[in-house]
Amino acid sequence: MRREVIFLLSLWKANLLAAMEYRAAFISQVLGMMLNNAVYFVFWMIFFDRFKEVRGWGLTDMLLLFGVVAAGFGIGVALFGNVLGLAEVIARGGLDYYLSLPRPVLLHTLASRSVASGFGDFVYGVLSFVAAGQFSADTVTRFILGTLLAATVFISFLILVNSLAFWIGNANMIAQQATNAIITFSLYPITLFDGTAKLLLLTLIPAAFVGAIPAELVRGFSWQSFGQLFAAAIFFFSLAVFVFHRGLRRYESGSAIQVQL
């Protein structure tokens, strides 16, 4: 376990150093993503300026929601950026390289790439949380906890949909649509959805565990929301690891072992 942690830290360090080689591009992506998120949030500012609240959700709730979603997504793709292209890696035989090395395949594959804009998302998320004005030792702890659990559910979901490539080959489009769906749904107040829709957001597209439930946890601690989120993170993570390794048994390629630069 200790060896894997050291290995992971070395990968992250190498990714960061690689990003810093193109410092201007890195900074432009970080700042660009922060501005991008801020412009998107203007929609909710205009909306709540006119309608004040929607089923109990106001602007502060949206700031917390955006905070936790952006920070969770950001930290996820900054540290495990290859998850966004995992289906492509599987389909073109790119796992050969990772299989040939004595390291955990899934961990190595995911952490071997970092998405620079993810750092921008993460910083934006923290700023959005600060702007919500609920800044205390308690809420900061809950924000960190909520963000980490949301990131776990998000990354696990992406591993699951991208792993479809083991069975259907080209799963790029499905994986992209699923990624869009979970991000889109997680950025809306959960109270808009009821019945079947809510069930869908807790199971098939677990957007509620990436947005609304962690945001609820940050707003005020309750064992119910913490328990739900923790259980979901464990469940989706275990399922993702299980499905990936089942898929790995079916993996075949034309031997694409190559040097990674």
Partner 1 sequence: MKRTAVFPSLIRDIRKYWAIFRTQLVNSLAYPLDLLSRSFSMVLFMWIFAQLWRTTYSASGQESIAGLSLNDTLWYLMMAETIILSKPRISTQVAEAVKDGSIAYNLNKPYNFILYHFSVSFGDSLLRLVPNALIGSLVVWRLAGPPPATRGWPLVFVAVLAALAIDFCINAMIGMLAFITEEIRAFEWIYAKFILILGGVLIPLDFFPEWLKTAALSLPFAYTTYGPARLFIDPDWDRFVTLISRQGAWLLVCGGILALIYRKGTSQLAINGG
Least distance in angstroms from the C-beta of 175 to partner 1: 11
Count of chain residues binding partner 1 (CB under 8 A):
35
CA 140 to chain centre: 19
- Closest to partner 1 by CB, 1 vs 24, is 24
Cα separation, 210 vs 232, in Å, equals 10
* 203 part of the interface to partner 1, by CB under 8 A: no
Contact 212, 62 (CB under 8 A): no
- Closest to partner 1 by CB, 190 vs 240, is 190
- Closest to partner 1 by CB, 140 vs 181, is 181
* 168 part of the interface to partner 1, by CB under 8 A: no
The number of beta carbons lying within 10 Å of the beta carbon of residue 28 is: 14
* 39 part of the interface to partner 1, by CB under 8 A: yes
* 200 part of the interface to partner 1, by CB under 8 A: no
Least distance in angstroms from the C-beta of 58 to partner 1: 12
* 35 part of the interface to partner 1, by CB under 8 A: yes
Name, in order, each residue with C-beta under 8 angstroms of 161's C-beta and a sequence gap of 6 or more: 87, 171, 174, 175, 178, 179
* 46 part of the interface to partner 1, by CB under 8 A: yes
Looking at residue 52, what DSSP letter applies? -
- Opening angle at CA 233, ends 229 and 238, nearest 5: 150
- Helices 223-250 and 212-219: crossing angle in degrees, nearest 10, is 150
* 181 part of the interface to partner 1, by CB under 8 A: yes
Cα separation, 26 vs 35, in Å, equals 14
Among 9, 197, 199, 257, binds partner 1 (CB under 8 A): 197
Residues of the shown chain interacting with partner 1 in the complex, contacts defined by CB under 8 A? 22, 24-25, 28-29, 31-33, 35-36, 39-40, 42-43, 46-47, 49-51, 53-55, 117, 173-174, 177, 180-181, 184-185, 188, 191-193, 197
